[in-house]
Chains A and B, each alone.
Chain A
Amino acid sequence: MKEKLNKTVLIADDDNDLLFQLKLNLENMGFDVMEAHGQKEAEGIMSENKPDLAIFDLIMENQDSGFVLAYKMKNKYPETPVIIATAVTAETGMVFGIETEADKNWIKADIYIEKNIRPDQLRREVFKLLKL
C-alpha cells in the first residue's frame, strides 16, 4: 500500500472521468480525497470539513465556479492552498495571471494548472504548496 500522508485534498470537477482520474492520482500519491461533482457539492463539503488543499475546476455550474469556490475557501481557511484547474486558457487565449498584487486581491487561487497536467507535474506542484 502507498505511504499515507494524512492530508486531505478536496477536489471538484463536473466531468466525472476527470474527477475519477484526479482522485486516483492523488490517492496514489498518498492523499485522502474528498470529491465533489460541482460547485454546490463542494460548498457543502467545505462547510463541514477543513481540507489541507483544494483543487477546483474553473467552469462547473457557472462560468466562474472555481473562482467562487477559491474565494470562499480562502475566506474560511486562509491557510489552505487552492489550485484552479482549467482548460480555458489555451482555447480562448484568455490568460489569468495571479502574479500582480491586484490580481491576487480578487483571484484567491495560489496557482493555476492546465487540465491535462501530467501526474508527476501535479505531484510537484501539490507537494510544493504543502511544503512536503
Chain B
Amino acid sequence: METLHVLVVDDEPGIRSGIIRVLGRHTVGYPFMEEDFTFELHEAESGEKAIEILESTSIDIVLLDNKLPGISGIEVLEYIKEKNFDVSVMMITSYASLDLAVKAINNGAYNFVPKPFTPEELKGAIESIAKNLYLKRMTREMNREGREAKFQFLSVLSHELKSPLNAIEGYLRIMSDRQAGNNLEDYDAMIDRSMERIKGMRSLIMDLLDLTRIENGSKQRRIVKNDIIDIIRASVQMFEPMAEQRHIKMELISPDELYLLSDKDECSIIINNLISNAIKYNKDFGKVTCTVRKEKGKISISVSDTGVGMSEEEKALLFQDFVRIKNEKTRNIAGSGLGLSIVKKLVEMNEGNIEVESYPDKGTTFTVCFAE
C-alpha cells in the first residue's frame, strides 16, 4: 500500500486534529491503480513551520489555510512554486475572495475547500487530489520511459546496422589480402555471405521504413473492402522463387474470395512477413500452408511451416523489436528482427490479434484473426 504524506497547515488546532482524525483512517483506491493510498498526516500551525517541514520531509499533498499568523498561505504556495516541489496544494480557507482564488490557482493550487467543511467534503476533495497526483506522476514516468525506449531502440538499431557492415568489411579485407590464396573459387562462400548480409541490411531498412510510417501515423490509411485471398495469392506468387530455391512447397487453402474491411498495404505487409518467415525458417523440401477461414464473424489467416520451430522461451520473446531467435538452426538466416513486431503492431491497429503455436523441429503456425 502506498502512503501519501499530507501536511495540514492551519493555525486552529481544532481544524488540524479534525482533519487528522478523518484522513488518518481513510484510504483511496481507483480501478486503474494497483494499490490503495493511505495517508500519513503532518501538521504545521504556521506558514514558517510549513516551509520547514516541506524542506525536510517529502510531502505529497498540502492542505493550506490562507489566513495564518505569520506569512500567509499564498506566500507558502509561492514558495512551493518557486522551489518546484512535487506537491499538490489544496487551499482550505473561509474568506475566499475571487481575487485570492485566482492568485492561488495561478500559483498552482489544485483546488479550494471552503471552511467549514464536512468530513465527506474533505474526503471527496482528497480523493480527487490523490487521483490527480497519481496521474501526474504516472504521466511523467511514462514520458521518461518513452524517451528511454527511444534511446534503447536507436542504440540497438545502430548495432544491427553496423554488424552487417563489419561482416562485409571483414570479408572484403580477407579478399583484398588474398588470405585464402589466389584461387577465386575459394572466396565464393565469402562473396555469398556478403551478399546475404547486404540483403539482410536492405530488408532491415525496408522494415524500418514500414515501422516509422506505422509509428508516426504518417501513412495514409485507405480502409476499403479488400479481397484478402487476392492479397495472399499475390504474396505467395512473390515468394514462389524463394521457396523453389529450397524446394519448399506452398499451398493455399481458402475460399475463392473473402472480403475484409482493411488497408491493402497493411494486409500485404502482414502476409508478406508471415510467408517469408515461413520460408526462411523452414527446412529444405518443407512446406508452407496458408489457410484462410471464416467462422462466427471472424476471419482467420494461418500460415504454417514445417521448419525449425521454437521453444517456449523463444516464443515469449517473439514480437519485440530486434528480437531474433538465435540458435544453431537459425544462425545463417538473415533478418532484421523487426518483421514480427511490425506485424503485431499492424494487426492490433486493425483490431485483430495474432497467435503463435510452435514445436521445435516440427514447425510453427502463426494465426491472425480479424473481425469480419
Contact of B159 with A116 in the complex, beta carbons under 8 Å: no
In whole angstroms, what is the CA distance A22 to B332 when docked?
17
- Within the complex, what minimum Cβ distance (angstroms) separates A8 from chain B? 20
B188 within 8 A of A: no
A17 within 8 A of B: yes
A118 within 8 A of B: yes
Which of chain B's residues has its CB closest to A60's CB?
B326
B167 within 8 A of A: yes
A16 within 8 A of B: yes
- Within the complex, what minimum Cβ distance (angstroms) separates A84 from chain B? 15
Chain B interface size band reads 20 to 34
**Contacts A116-B170, A119-B177 given; does A16 touch B331 at CB 8 Å:** yes
B58 within 8 A of A: no
CB within 8 Å: A-B pair count: 51
List the B side residues contacting A45 at CB < 8 Å.
none
- Interface hits, B84-120 → A, CB 8 Å: none
**Contacts A18-B167, A37-B331 given; does A91 touch B174 at CB 8 Å:** no
Contact of A91 with B159 in the complex, beta carbons under 8 Å: yes
List the B side residues contacting A59 at CB < 8 Å.
159
Contact of A38 with B326 in the complex, beta carbons under 8 Å: yes
- Within the complex, what minimum Cβ distance (angstroms) separates B171 from chain A? 7
Contact of B159 with A88 in the complex, beta carbons under 8 Å: yes
Q: Mark B126-166, 1 if CB is under 8 A from A, else 0.
A: 00000000000000000000000000000100110011011
In whole angstroms, what is the CA distance A17 to B197 when docked?
9
In whole angstroms, what is the CA distance A17 to B173 when docked?
13
- Interface hits, A1-46 → B, CB 8 Å: 14-18, 20-21, 24-25, 28, 37-38
List the A side residues contacting B163 at CB < 8 Å.
15, 18, 87
In whole angstroms, what is the CA distance A91 to B332 when docked?
25
Contact of A18 with B159 in the complex, beta carbons under 8 Å: no
- Interface hits, B170-185 → A, CB 8 Å: 170-171, 173-174, 177, 179-180
Interchain Cβ contacts under 8 Å between A and B, 7 examples: A16-B332, A18-B167, A21-B170, A59-B159, A61-B326, A88-B159, A92-B155
Query: Chain B interface (Cβ within 8 Å of chain A)?
Result: 155, 158-159, 162-163, 165-167, 169-171, 173-174, 177, 179-180, 193, 197, 326, 328, 331-332
Query: Chain A interface (Cβ within 8 Å of chain B)?
Result: 14-18, 20-21, 24-25, 28, 37-38, 59, 61, 87-88, 91-92, 115-116, 118-119
The 3 residue pairs across chains A and B that have the minimum distance between CB atoms: A17-B167, A21-B170, A91-B158
